[in-house]
């Protein structure tokens, strides 16, 4: 492949990591996601969640939680799906906790 122009991009992972990420996730792979899901009651009972002015942030958290639960309970979820669900839930949880006006859209996440 010949470089033509533009910025030179560096991959986030190696070919080996990408290959491993498409394998079916086991319980050990889902530990981080499960820990985030277990924080649901804490987040939903917090003042930030109860009195949040940003309805989009609340809806984004609820949507990310729904996706995370579906990915976590599926026996066919790949490691990359688990990683993406954990990232999405963590990001939206932080948005609720910090009253961030920017939310992460959750409707483009494939299950």
Helix (H) or strand (E) holding 38: helix 31-38
The encoded tokens of residue 15 equal 């070919």
- Please count the helices (runs of H) and the strands (runs of E) in the chain: 6, 0
Mean pLDDT comparison of 15-24, 41-50, 65-74, highest-scoring range = 65-74
Residue 21 has pLDDT above 70, yes or no: yes
pLDDT band at 103 (very low <50, low <70, confident <90, very high): very low
pLDDT band at 19 (very low <50, low <70, confident <90, very high): very high
- Mean pLDDT of the residues in the chain: 87
pTM for the structure as a whole: 0.79
């Amino acid at each position: 492949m010949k470089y033509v122009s533009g910025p030179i991009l560096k991959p986030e992972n190696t070919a080996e990591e990408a290959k491993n990420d498409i394998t079916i996730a086991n319980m050990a792979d889902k530990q981080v996601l499960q820990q985030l899901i277990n924080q649901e009651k804490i987040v939903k009972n917090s003042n930030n969640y109860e009195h949040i002015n940003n309805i989009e942030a609340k809806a984004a958290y609820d949507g990310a939680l729904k996706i995370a639960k579906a990915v976590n309970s599926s026996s066919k979820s790949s490691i990359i799906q688990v990683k993406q669900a954990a990232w999405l839930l963590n990001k939206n949880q932080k948005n609720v906790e910090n009253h961030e006006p920017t939310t992460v859209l959750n409707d483009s996440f494939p299950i």
